[in-house]
Structure 1
Amino acid sequence: MNAPHRHRLATAVSLCLIAAAPGLAVAQDAPQPSSATTLDTVQVTGTRIKKAEIESQTPVQTLSREDLERTGLTSVGDILQELTGAGSALNTKFNSSGNFGFSPNGDGVGAGSAQVDLRHLGAKRVLVLVDGMRWVNESSASGVGATTDLNTIPLAIVERIDVLEDGASSLYGSDAIAGVVNIITRRNFEGGQLSLNVGQYGEGDGTSKGVDVAWGMNTDRSNLFLGASYVEQDEILANTREQASFPVPGTGLAFGSSGTPRGRFIFTDPATGATLDLTPNEGASDPTYDPAQTGCERTDDYHCFGTPDRFNFAQYNMLLTPSKRMGLFGQYRFYFSDTVHAYAKALVNRRESVNQAAPEPIFLGADAGTGNPISDGMFISADNPYNPFGFDLVSVDDPATPENELNFILLGRRPVEGGPRVFEQEVDTQYVGAGLEGSFTAGDRTWFWDVNAAHSRNEAEQTNFGSYDIRNIALALGDPAACAAVAGCVPLNLFGGPGTITPEMLAFIQPVVHDRSEQKLSQFTANISGDLLELWAGPLSAAAGIEHRRYEGSYTPDPLTVAGFYNGVPSLPTSGDYDVNEAYLELNVPLITEGAFGKSLDLSLAGRYSDYSTFGGQFTPKYGLRWQVADELLLRATYAEGFRAPSIGELFGSPSRADLQIDDPCLVGTDGSAPTGDPGNCAALGVPVGAEQTNSQISVTTGGNEDLEPETARSFTAGLVFSPSLASGVSWSDRLDLELTYYRHSIDGAVQAIDAQTQLNLCVETLDPLYCEGIERSPIGGISAFNNRLTNLGSIKTAGWDADVFWTLPEMAAGQFKVIWQNTFVTGYDAVGAAGQRQPQGVGIEVNDSAIPDWTSTATLDWRRGPWNASWSVRHISELEENCGDAASFAICGNQAEGTNTLEAMTYHDLQVGYRFEVFRSLQLTAGVNNLLDDDPPICLSCSLNGYDASTYDIPGGRYFYMRADLRF
């Protein structure tokens, strides 16, 4: 990513200025009113103690306003996902409605949102603050999420972003396991600013445009800032990029859907006993079936279904989802005296986004595998005027009518007449906050205090066009007399080709579906900080505080979905709430002053007690050492314990479904490959010999668990900051800073479901009820139900290194240059289930649309000369390896003998140049291009939908050009 700056030793204070409570941010664009200078107390990231002499004991990465603008991006989430320490997280490159369904984590999929993951521990383990206060979790109309949608925070109001890359539950409470992102808003601002930006991919699509307006004023006793933002992002369709034009690149239609516009029909003819797998010939809109032809050599209007008949659903997907984001923000501060001031702030933001999936398939019959009893138990009458087979199609054995034995295995029909599935989201965010801040003197010591209250709300509505009512489908396929008795019902034709479903048929079976979700967060905090007493090596400093928070969340699916009549992904309503009360204490103990053991040695101690209404109390401590060995060298280390409380969705989420790409080891693969599972075990599971997996997408049911316990974590960091004097103030170097940090995180009782593919493989290998319970199969062997619930699933451990170089060269005739080189090396990652089963994630492995590269790197060369400025950034991602699965037999699988595919290392180049005019106060014009060399990401065979990992790589195919104009007046 275009390089952010990590804190250097000598500049740690100036770069670490951050507010523990809202609004204690450092002055940014204009001087603070003079009457309030005593309140401009330094707050160093990673500590609540407001003292300029205390430098951070933990690695903190700061992205300044300049760093943000250098990226050319318009979303906080997109910028943070380019950090070298960031993991895979949802963003607008995920077409995340439709087939995505609900997350296996039980918290819904945030369609259109952008999240941040640190250290590959998951976005829900990162705490997001805005001006030191928690931000409300996302609502995207599909469940009750456990993460923050960064698209609810306009980039235009951000002054800087601080990223604490360490466990910090003792300081900030739950969720701060992998780290903390603190977004500091623009506050002190004099005059106005108008910013215009536009960008577009080299293929002429994916246009982004926006306008930001900022205005502020300062008086001796107050300051006011107002900001407005509008961003519009156009879509990029998958069919415009060759790599994303098929479900699995390089395999043609082998992994296409068996739900096709002409239809696939698997049944047993009761007259002959022959089981057939047929599809109509092209152009046969009223096909004729000859029961005497019991094989694949046919002269009627059918032929046996094969790979060329499969449907290419990828053509309808999006590589970049469209959205509009509109935001208003304001904050006002009034200084009553030199020692007390008040503030108030408010934000409203709206996101309108769209996802799109291929026309929704209708799967009916015993092997439909939808988990819906209506579609899996479908009856199609012989009297249906469009039924060409001349007999009832029955998918459930009924003892009461022995003449109706099961003969209906699968009907897969994709009604292209109904158009693609379109999911439109409207997400509204509101935030209001107010507080008092001040200081007082006790003896010869100054104490600082603040009290703050805030309420935030995130609500979403998702409207779904292009889905179907399975109840009405059953009625229209059944007895025509029963259909005639219902207003609007006409017999349905699923047996002809495209165009045979009439507008009257569509009107009866195709509803508009509305889903809603909401989250609320109310919070109150009070903090105090100062020096308690003088010790042998300096003052003993302390900070203490109390906090109260209330969380409320709900998800309300459409009544059609609740009733079980929705043909798409089923779900039920969810609602819940809980409260938490907390108190914390932090101490900084100076142990040694300047002497034989160095300049100074400080010990930090912190502890927080949290009382949750859902599970009770939790105490989390933290210990740290900071040793200033010399002016040039700082050594630091921390050990912290942390926790994450289960979210509302994880606790109370009702059963819902995710449609996942899974290879069934007991079935013939969709490409014809032989089963890999033990034949005896597969037979014991009820799988007939030769049974075929008709669809690689398997529906997996997820849901909350009120018995969940909090996750617990341990974090350790150790590192150094070295600023050699031989590289300071000399002819070849103005300053050189070297940073090295080792990190290790361990999580126990991680809340998640066992990886579905892993669970199925273990079930087939062991027949253990621990894995097989909840997996049901149809009479012909296919999976008809897969229950995969949340548990406290064992452990996650990860470790690695950050190594960074910051070099500022002296100013010369050619200008001034700066070099920033940041690196993250992941040396270990292990996720183990509660019963010891190893999860597939690991270092250097790509799985489930996420990757853990062993090396990510960003290098930036920055140049300034007079009104000119330019930067060149290089982003590197090391190679990865994935399991090819059923694609192992194709040449596109690079290592066919091993059944693995190597995703080669990627290096992206970004270039930017700007010029400042002396117009009004100033006019800055900037132009840039990202992915200068037009590199395509490596092909991913296991990634869903678009053939590449959208959270790791740039969109396939296309440079991104952008321009920006900033006018200050």
Structure 2
Amino acid sequence: MKQKTMLATAIAAALMLHTWAVSAQDTAPAQSDQADATKAKSLETVTVTGSHIRSVDVETSQPVYTMDRQAIKATGLTNVSDILARMPSVGTPDITPQDTLASGPDVGGTYVNLRYLGSQRTLVLVNGRRWSTSLSGMTDLSTIPVSMIERIDVLKDGASSVYGADAIGGVVNIITRDHYDGGEANVYFGENGGGDGQQKNADFTWGHTTLKNAFIVSAAYQELSPVWDNRRDLTRYADGPRHPDDGWGLGPWGRVLDPDNGNTYVINHGATDTANFANYHPYDSSSLADKYRTSKDMTFRAGSKLKNLYVQDRYKLTDNISLHGSATYSTRDSSNQLAGYPFSTDATGLTIDPDNAYNPFPGNATTFWRRTVEMPRITRSNSRLAHIDVGAEGYFTFLDHDWNWDTGYTFSQTHIRQITTGNIYLPNAEKALGPTTILNGQVVCADAADRAAGCVPWNILAGPGATPQSVWNYVNSVSTARQFAQTDDFTANVGGGLFDLPAGTVNIAGGIEHRREKGSYHPDPNDSAGLTTNLASAPTNGRYDVNEAYLELDVPVLRDLPGVQEFGINIASRYSHYSDFGSTVNNKYSVRWRPINDLLVRATYAEGFRAPTIDDLYGGTGQSFETFLDPCDSAFGAAATNATVAARCAAAGVPTNYRQKDQAGNPITSNAGGQSPTAFLSGSNPQLKPETSVTRTFGLVYSPHYVEGLDFTLDYYDIRLTNAIAAVDASDILNFCYVQNVSDFCNRFTRNGAGVITSLNESLANLGSIDTQGYDVGIHYRLPETPFGTFRVASDSTYLVKYDTTSGPGQVTNTLAGFMDNEEGLYRVRSNLQLDWDYKQFGASWTIRYYSGLKDSCWSVSPAVECSNPSYTNPWIGSFGIAQKGSVAFNDLQLRYTAPWKGTFTFGVNNIFNKQGPLYYNVTLAGAGSPPYNPAFDYDRYFYVSYNQKF
């Protein structure tokens, strides 16, 4: 009832204010040009990140970090994701351009990850409004042109009470340029010291501002060349240059299994007569001679091309009302490459037919292995975004106080198409490896119908260069996948002063929002049917609606008293109703206190949530043959040593002496379990509930009056996330049921009368938790102007006290802060220090980026190689020792010169000393990829030059 009352009040207020504004428009007298100019200025949008109350002080009761246009340019970077990644509180995104092995429609985009909580838990806004997201909840920052950015606000706090879902790790609010008069053109070129990874940018911005209208248009183009693994030692080897003999895989020389003795043989390099067994030699798994270094054919960082057109207009309709609108259209083309597919009987079940002319063991279905290096796997992605934002806003007087209102509609639509080549189309491969015959002196496919359909015999065992292109054309799979996502968002907000207290005006803001999210993903039908070697997935199609209402109240309690120069509280509450899972209410409480004018003390308590995405709810299911250990197994399962578990198994109808069987039908032989003979289901779950969080912050802002331009900030944060949406594997499901006695998981599988598991559902679930704590420290000082110019010093650091994860009920807590357990680790300390100097037309900046060391697994315990503590037993991966990896700092330099004709030349070098950070063998700070190198690190020295011309 309370929420309905709040919603009704907000609607009534919006209607009343609309009527008031129209009345004011009809009766307002004509103003002079000077008065119009003053009034127009008052109608400019005021964007306060983290609050809908526009009168709140810039130093709010929550930590907001701001990068202005000058700071953005000083990075020498031209992608929003890369710029944000420099912040100490930002972790490596879930997907980066270096994640060559990652798959899915989100690959190719760039993202942001606040507090290491994941890109899906970071809300991205543009001018205070939601930007487009994919079906998995990821926001591609490459669609936002840097040329249009005025500043970037990063709210390092929970903000679901203000903005709704997803603002758990924080909020990135990108504010675009406004009221621009004139023209500006930029060109940029950058290149790695190794002569690759070239980046070419060009953009043009033009704007015109009058008393009534402000128009701006910008066009931008960016081309980023790929970086190949084979260009430098750091990326050439799977485990880095210290271990060049590791990371070699299946080679392109045909390998077969002798059906008589069970030994493996490899075709002699250069031999083409694969039917003659005399041309083979025994395969030695310890030798590199018949193996292949796949990094030779892989991109380390994908290449891309970005095009963007942005138009924005603001028109003063009356003295009290203005209209605004913006439209963006962007395209992104990206491409990455993997080495050829490791084609084998093990992976596909195909064999060389007994009647195939190239079979070295005629009459036998021959098992084979061979990497198709002649046909690398290439994925080309094209993403197109259309984003439109229109609305109106105005000001009026009510209750003898200033009030503001705004209403708007946002439309976002994204189309992604991915074309993947280089995988094998299995039906054609089976025919090409099938029986052959001789026709007109040529080896051909034996079946006439297959020949008519294009079948060409495949001598799979022949080495590189011995396979005709016609064969590759026949077996090549060209897969096309498409994704569509659309957001329709309607908002209405109103706010202003209610009444005055001795300490100031009590302000209130309220609003309503209706949002619809819908989308679909259609993988290639052949992939979905399992007819190719590409990753299989099922279609996704779904939508949901959200209705929300919020209220925010700001109360100045005390002012100008001894020990209390200011004390105020801010309370916000948001009601959200989702058509899929129901309703949630999230509150936020903030306080600010100035014991003296120079010191601000601030604290917040915020509830947050992340709604399950369309992918989470309606994504297609897939099948897999999982390796798992059944706790009811009487020899190796928990039932063998735990009477309680044995009793639960018996109560579920499992026979007393039950033994888990592997795919061959044999009892398992160790606690490693065995692979299921039955396919298990995995994928989405329409019954998911939202993730929930509680964020607590406490901070100080100290600006001593006796040192003008100096500011200190210290903020503590504590974020606790529960009901995390995660995949759950077969072993965990069974353990949750029988060991932890969580009955909900007992409904995810079935057994037959013999106790054998006949079905199991591994779909997503609300499992586990994250608990993270830390400190943000900032020191910023603009020194007094000197005869040598103006100097600015900025230092921003994050100290991670704690980052603990739990995968489910009763599971061991995994500690990641500064340590390595379960193949992950996070830096204790990240810090940036920048010195900036300006003197007349000259300028320069020097930046140091620091990462503390991490504990990693040893390369080898016996003998000890890269191992500081060989005796350490890791609770997740066994006795593997610990290697302490050292800290690393990167230095960047930028020089600037502004010519008399309003042209600015910039030259910069990032990682000027060509520093390389340590390699991590069991610390995966990013997604998939090789070598084990943190993408946040610089892998090379990078040079860039740019020129800016204003008109």
Pair in the same fold by TM > 0.5: yes
Change (3 A) 1:300 1:520: closer
> Which structure 2 residues correspond to residues 748-827 of structure 1 after superposition, within 5 A?
748-754=722-728, 789-827=763-801
1:949 equivalent in alignment to 2:928: no
Q: What amino acid does structure 2 have at the position aligned with 1:456?
A: S
1:592 equivalent in alignment to 2:536: no
Unmatched tracts of structure 2, length 5 or more: 1-34, 437-444, 631-635, 642-657, 751-758, 873-879
Corresponding residue for residue 133 of structure 2: 137
**Structure 1 counterpart of 2:371, from 378, 402, 414:** 414
Corresponding residue for residue 51 of structure 1: 55
1:628 equivalent in alignment to 2:594: yes
Question: What SS does the corresponding residue of 1:518 show, helix, strand or coil?
Answer: strand
Corresponding residue for residue 260 of structure 1: 251
Deviates more, 1:639-648 or 1:81-90: 81-90
Corresponding residue for residue 838 of structure 1: 812
Separation in 1, partners of 2:225, 2:421: 20
Which structure exhibits the higher relative contact order, with contacts defined as CA atoms closer than 8 Å and separated by 6 or more residues?
1
1:553 equivalent in alignment to 2:545: no
Preserved CA contact (<8 Å) 2:860 2:867: no
Residues 385-407 of structure 1, C-alpha deviations (whole Å, 9 max, x = no match): 112122433xxxxxxxxxxxxxx
1:392 equivalent in alignment to 2:364: yes
1:868 equivalent in alignment to 2:842: yes
Preserved CA contact (<8 Å) 1:42 1:51: no
Change (3 A) 1:493 1:962: same
Q: State the 1:475 CA deviation.
A: 2.5
Separation in 1, partners of 2:514, 2:90: 30
Residues 711-766 of structure 1, C-alpha deviations (whole Å, 9 max, x = no match): 0110000011111233x2xxxxx422111000000111001125899999999999
Q: State the 1:41 CA deviation.
A: 6.4
**Structure 1 counterpart of 2:328, from 323, 337, 347:** 347
Q: State the 1:90 CA deviation.
A: 4.3
Separation in 2, partners of 1:693, 1:283: 42
Deviates more, 1:84-93 or 1:561-570: 84-93
Preserved CA contact (<8 Å) 1:247 1:945: no
Separation in 2, partners of 1:586, 1:263: 69
**Structure 1 counterpart of 2:264, from 277, 300, 317:** 277
1:654 equivalent in alignment to 2:620: yes
Q: What amino acid does structure 2 have at the position aligned with 1:485?
A: A
Preserved CA contact (<8 Å) 1:95 1:318: no
Q: State the 1:823 CA deviation.
A: 0.6
Separation in 2, partners of 1:692, 1:277: 26
Q: State the 1:510 CA deviation.
A: 0.7
Q: State the 1:60 CA deviation.
A: 0.3
Preserved CA contact (<8 Å) 1:38 1:338: no
Q: State the 1:593 CA deviation.
A: 2.0
Change (3 A) 1:284 1:304: farther
> Which structure 2 residues correspond to residues 426-445 of structure 1 after superposition, within 5 A?
426-445=382-401
Corresponding residue for residue 26 of structure 1: none
Change (3 A) 1:577 1:770: closer
Corresponding residue for residue 107 of structure 2: 111
TM-score for both structures, normalised by structure 1: 0.82
Question: What SS does the corresponding residue of 2:263 show, helix, strand or coil?
Answer: strand
Q: State the 1:499 CA deviation.
A: 3.0
Q: State the 1:896 CA deviation.
A: 4.7
Change (3 A) 1:212 1:719: same
Separation in 2, partners of 1:634, 1:72: 33
1:467 equivalent in alignment to 2:423: yes
Q: State the 1:282 CA deviation.
A: 2.6
Change (3 A) 1:719 1:75: same
Q: What amino acid does structure 2 have at the position aligned with 1:880?
A: L
> Which structure 2 residues correspond to residues 461-860 of structure 1 after superposition, within 5 A?
461-480=417-436, 483-486=447-450, 487-656=453-622, 686=662, 702-726=682-706, 728=707, 734-754=708-728, 789-838=763-812, 840=814, 842-845=816-819, 851-860=825-834
Change (3 A) 1:333 1:446: same
Question: What SS does the corresponding residue of 1:66 show, helix, strand or coil?
Answer: helix
Deviates more, 1:438-447 or 1:45-54: 45-54
Percent of residue pairs identical: 35
**Structure 2 counterpart of 1:358, from 336, 339, 349:** 339
Q: State the 1:567 CA deviation.
A: 1.1
Q: What amino acid does structure 2 have at the position aligned with 1:871?
A: S
Question: What SS does the corresponding residue of 1:67 show, helix, strand or coil?
Answer: helix
Corresponding residue for residue 210 of structure 1: 201
1:38 equivalent in alignment to 2:42: yes
Deviates more, 1:789-798 or 1:833-842: 833-842
1:222 equivalent in alignment to 2:213: yes
Corresponding residue for residue 143 of structure 2: 152
Q: State the 1:842 CA deviation.
A: 0.7
Change (3 A) 1:570 1:820: same
Corresponding residue for residue 942 of structure 2: 960
Change (3 A) 1:477 1:612: same
Q: What amino acid does structure 2 have at the position aligned with 1:222?
A: N
Preserved CA contact (<8 Å) 2:629 2:674: no
Residues 584-634 of structure 1, C-alpha deviations (whole Å, 9 max, x = no match): 000011211221341111011110000000101110000011001111111
Deviates more, 1:431-440 or 1:488-497: 488-497
Corresponding residue for residue 355 of structure 2: 383
Q: What amino acid does structure 1 have at the position aligned with 2:353?
A: S
Preserved CA contact (<8 Å) 1:844 1:881: yes
Separation in 2, partners of 1:240, 1:427: 28
Corresponding residue for residue 332 of structure 1: 313
Q: State the 1:301 CA deviation.
A: 3.8
Preserved CA contact (<8 Å) 2:151 2:176: yes
Corresponding residue for residue 117 of structure 2: 121
Q: State the 1:865 CA deviation.
A: 1.0
Question: What SS does the corresponding residue of 1:599 show, helix, strand or coil?
Answer: strand
Change (3 A) 1:510 1:841: farther
> Which structure 2 residues correspond to residues 75-94 of structure 1 after superposition, within 5 A?
75-90=79-94, 92-94=96-98
Corresponding residue for residue 312 of structure 1: 293
TM-score for both structures, normalised by structure 2: 0.84
Residues 446-492 of structure 1, C-alpha deviations (whole Å, 9 max, x = no match): 21000000101111111112111012212322344774422111332
Corresponding residue for residue 898 of structure 2: 916
Separation in 2, partners of 1:893, 1:414: 34
Residues 893-941 of structure 1, C-alpha deviations (whole Å, 9 max, x = no match): 665554234332110000011011120xx11111110001101121122
1:286 equivalent in alignment to 2:283: no
Q: State the 1:198 CA deviation.
A: 0.7
Separation in 2, partners of 1:892, 1:677: 36
Preserved CA contact (<8 Å) 1:162 1:183: yes
Preserved CA contact (<8 Å) 2:565 2:596: yes
Q: State the 1:157 CA deviation.
A: 1.3
Preserved CA contact (<8 Å) 1:35 1:337: no
Q: State the 1:248 CA deviation.
A: 2.1
